[in-house]
């Protein structure tokens, strides 16, 4: 299959100097074990983090490091990358193993990773300034929303559990997989009267936050 990325470039309002870089950004390892987006994704993840961290310091020059860290974590994660990727219909352009050429649903993680690879590709092809502009444009509404400081899910769940049951929530690590530079933690949490709620994250902290969010959603939907 020959990928036509012209429509994506129009959507991004970017024209790659080297089209091969864009093609590589959109190629999953299941499609091509050698020329794929794994390493560019690694780069894009770091560039994304740098741009968002820089912007947060500009917006909140007097804010404490702990608060900045929470705002950063809410902006740089797989869920947020997936939201951005879906906004630009990135899934339509991703090359994955599909021998029967059928319409398939690509995994959310693959789509989110591809968005990070795209960021890495823009950096390689266009440099930092263009990449920074792209990221800040795509993340604009989310950055603005971060100006509203909220108690994180893990803290909220802890406060609820202590108030109702007089004990802390129970967390346990289910698994720790993935390469060293891109680990994937699976964590479960429960309260005295609930089942375990499982969630994943690229750090133990992120996984615990995601699990706490699921648990809170279950509590307050009742």
Residues marked as catalytic: 45, 116
Note whether 28 and 99 are within 8 A (CB): no
Q: Looking at residue 19, what DSSP letter applies?
A: H
Angle among Cα 216, 114, 11 to the nearest 5 degrees reads 105
Sign of the torsion formed by the C-alpha atoms of 83, 84, 85 and 89: positive
Buried b (16+ CB within 10 A) or exposed e, 54-86: ebbeeeeeeeeeeebebbbbbbbbbebbbbbbe
Q: Give residue 89's region: left, alpha or beta (phi > 0; psi -120 to 50).
A: left
Task: At 116, list the tokens.
Answer: 């990070």
Give the tokens for residue 73: 């974590």
Contact yes or no for 204/149 (Cβ under 8 A): no
């Amino acid at each position: 299959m020959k990928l036509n990325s012209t429509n994506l470039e129009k959507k991004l309002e970017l024209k790659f100097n080297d089209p091969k870089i864009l093609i590589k950004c959109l190629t999953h390892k299941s499609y091509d074990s050698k020329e794929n987006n794994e390493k560019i994704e690694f780069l894009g993840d770091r560039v994304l983090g740098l741009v968002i961290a820089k912007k947060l310091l500009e917006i909140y020059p007097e804010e404490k490091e702990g608060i900045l860290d929470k705002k950063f974590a809410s902006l740089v994660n797989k869920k947020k990358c997936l939201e951005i990727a879906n906004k630009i219909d990135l899934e339509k352009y991703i090359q994955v193993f599909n021998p029967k050429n059928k319409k398939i649903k690509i995994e959310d993680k693959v789509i989110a990773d591809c968005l990070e690879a795209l960021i890495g590709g823009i950096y390689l092809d266009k440099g930092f300034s263009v990449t920074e502009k792209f990221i800040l444009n795509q993340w604009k509404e989310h950055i603005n929303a971060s100006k509203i400081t909220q108690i994180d899910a893990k803290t909220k769940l802890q406060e609820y559990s202590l108030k109702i049951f007089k004990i802390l929530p129970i967390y346990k690590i289910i698994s720790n997989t993935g390469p060293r530079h891109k680990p994937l933690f699976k964590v479960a949490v429960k309260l005295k009267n609930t089942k375990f709620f499982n969630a994943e994250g690229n750090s133990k902290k992120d996984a615990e936050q995601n699990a706490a969010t699921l648990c809170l959603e279950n509590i307050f939907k009742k």
